[in-house]
Structure 1
């Protein structure tokens, strides 16, 4: 160990840091993304199915999901705060992560105490909105930390594991909460997940971002050179960097394309629960269990397939095929809906939609992460994520009206049309073109 590094460690135990240990940073990122999945699983699987089983309409469930997920479209503001302010002795992102985790845990315990019933949709929406707001601060901090700490050659693999872990969290939360909510056990559900967030947060709190930083505010340490160099002391450089990015037409087209790519997830969030429970006769626990199993398969696919897919086919080809599969699946579902016998077609289409939509999300995020300047990573990456999140929230809120006005087949056709439009915008934006395409081809070779 060099004399300079020895000086940094002097005064506290030489525990590993995330910047130096690939296994540690991957474990921390995966665990944090899993906890985000708990929030999303409650908001998009377990509670919507519970509401559907208690007689809520597609419009009410769409409104719940759209509002609960709305904070995910505000991530740019979170990113601006994090790129401008942080407690530097603890690193650029770690203090934000720990605060967000604490607030998430407090919200879950508050939900356990309040114990709203399925008829109290407004109160449930308020709690889930707050819970997702806490999760977005956590998410933006993790994304910024990933851009800061993960080398370029690791990012495709790490992205696959990130979203696989989040999907696994969604599945776990959907399954566990689905079994508890069938008996209206909202208090036990919220307390259980709050306790898990607390335990997982304790693990994450034990490791620094970089050598020499403080483990907690009251321990020894100092800001790392990287933190001092990259953290902004004024708003103008951050806003200037974002504005320069938005001056590019390809960037704007890419943002619009990723927004429309969320159409499938919006359908699965707000339309699939009422379709399964109220039209096909499923129980809320049946739907939650099925969605959780599909999510588990999607998590495995995201962790194992994405890297090989991009390296073999390239970013552009991978994106194109995934968009087209989503559009085709929705068209087939819309064309056959009126003649469905039982649930077989619905289950097959749902599985295809969920798995392919997750793979497409990972592929698009690989591209977005490559575009990020590390000095404003939290803000810029949050901007790239804000577009699909805002679109997912708005489309979830509006999908109930499509179902009420035109039926479930029309909702499927709308997903197909939006997916094709998203593909066209991403192709016009040049996703996978140029030097990055050449890089993908080199990796494939």
Structure 2
């Protein structure tokens, strides 16, 4: 398919919707921590605030409700999108009214509610994207979504911190609340997916149906293994990357900050390149190519560990890691969309994405222990090896996945 044929309204809407998805995350995590620190909140309390992010890892628990129940306006997907968006705007405005030095726990409760609505928004956004994009649009649509999401993290992260120094934190959060109107505008111009009419007949079906449907597929176990392992090597390498650059190699915090900005730009470029390439390669070949690039990119940090504090090697390693990571993310999101049955999209997408996220959550302590035992260069060799099982499983499933690639509704195409 030619690229010009993919320049359509469905893909265009992925940009503002991705932006709306990413904005609340920074406002309840890194940016909020900066506000608490400036306000003089003690470190132990700030540490407790990290629990505000729990809804993002537990969202699969209430995803069935968003599959089962249809709001009385705009349909099953757009109705929930409007409800969560409006609640987020109110929640962020409420955060702007609370002084963290006087009422830190009240701010924590409100921030937790914002994170809950943000995670709920992600559930329905993921379902909407999966049901709206056609099979040949999934790669590029995912790439455009990732670009919107990452740009929102930049706005709610870096830009918000600069703005707070100029106008104060309450005014900054108020501005961010109004910026979130972008999401409401996008929902207002979007169309309800036709497949959203496939509503589970009961709450029991909404909870158990997604599992029964998925595990009725003969290759269900290997598919779950692929979802868990495909980005494992990438997550493994990124777990201690900042510590490696500062403590392991000797770069300054400023160096790392500049590289993070460069890395963000390269991730956006990688996602877009990956999405465009998928229109030519198809899902399976793109997953194989990008997965191999992700694995090999980890070896660039082996060179950096051997070479020491070298800025050319640093730029090379960051470029390899972020470009390949962005490409791999586009392909992975397209894979998860292909695996979801549209009657249970919200629940299945939430479950599959949670399985993928386990690696990032669980690898922190084992990674540190491994570095202490074998050193940095061997550690990054191990992260390369950790990426290989996912690639081998992908090769084993290539014929099955080729059939999923052509399905528009994600229903199990294999008897």
TM-score by length of 1: 0.71
Partners of 1:42 and 1:189 in 2: how far apart? Answer: 10
In structure 2, the residue corresponding to 1:231 is in which secondary structure?
Answer: coil
Partners of 1:184 and 1:302 in 2: how far apart? Answer: 34
The answer as to whether partners of 2:270 and 2:325 remain within 8 angstroms in 1 is no
In the TM superposition, what are the counterparts of 1:377-396 in structure 2 within 5 Å? 377-396=345-364
Say yes or no: does 1:72 pair with 2:56: yes
Structure 2 residue ranges without an equivalent (≥5)? 1-6, 38-44, 408-415
Partners of 2:360 and 2:123 in 1: how far apart? Answer: 17
Partners of 1:302 and 1:309 in 2: how far apart? Answer: 10
The answer as to whether partners of 1:329 and 1:353 remain within 8 angstroms in 2 is yes
1:424-444 deviation digits (Å, cap 9, x = unpaired): 3333343765435789xxxxx
In structure 2, the residue corresponding to 1:374 is in which secondary structure?
Answer: coil
Partners of 2:77 and 2:315 in 1: how far apart? Answer: 40
Tell me the equivalent position of 1:30.
15
The answer as to whether partners of 2:234 and 2:294 remain within 8 angstroms in 1 is no
Of 94, 98, 101, which residue of structure 1 is paired with 2:82?
98
1:144-195 deviation digits (Å, cap 9, x = unpaired): 2223333334333322211222123234444324546899965555444233
Of 313, 328, 331, which residue of structure 1 is paired with 2:296?
328
In structure 2, the residue corresponding to 1:209 is in which secondary structure?
Answer: coil
Deviation of 1:309 (Å): 2.2
Structure 1 residue ranges without an equivalent (≥5)? 1-21, 53-59, 211-223, 440-445
The answer as to whether partners of 1:175 and 1:292 remain within 8 angstroms in 2 is no
Structure 2 CA distance for partners of 1:104 and 1:393, relative to 1, 3 Å = farther
The answer as to whether partners of 2:91 and 2:114 remain within 8 angstroms in 1 is yes
Q: Give the number of the structure with larger relative contact order, counting CA–CA contacts within 8 Å between residues 6 or more apart.
A: 1
Structure 2 CA distance for partners of 1:314 and 1:146, relative to 1, 3 Å = closer
Say yes or no: does 1:87 pair with 2:58: no
In the TM superposition, what are the counterparts of 1:332-347 in structure 2 within 5 Å? 332-334=300-302, 336-347=304-315
TM-score by length of 2: 0.75
In the TM superposition, what are the counterparts of 1:196-235 in structure 2 within 5 Å? 196-197=179-180, 199-204=181-186, 206-207=188-189, 209-210=191-192, 227=196, 229-235=197-203
Say yes or no: does 1:356 pair with 2:356: no
Structure 2 CA distance for partners of 1:405 and 1:111, relative to 1, 3 Å = farther
Partners of 1:178 and 1:410 in 2: how far apart? Answer: 37
Deviation of 1:200 (Å): 1.5
Deviation of 1:82 (Å): 0.8
Tell me the equivalent position of 1:371.
339
Partners of 2:215 and 2:113 in 1: how far apart? Answer: 29
Say yes or no: does 1:282 pair with 2:264: no
Task: Give the RMSD, CA atoms, in angstroms.
Answer: 4.2
Equivalenced residues, count: 390
- Please identify, of 358-367 and 22-31, the stretch whose mean Cα deviation from structure 2 is larger: 22-31
The answer as to whether partners of 2:266 and 2:322 remain within 8 angstroms in 1 is no
In structure 2, the residue corresponding to 1:375 is in which secondary structure?
Answer: coil
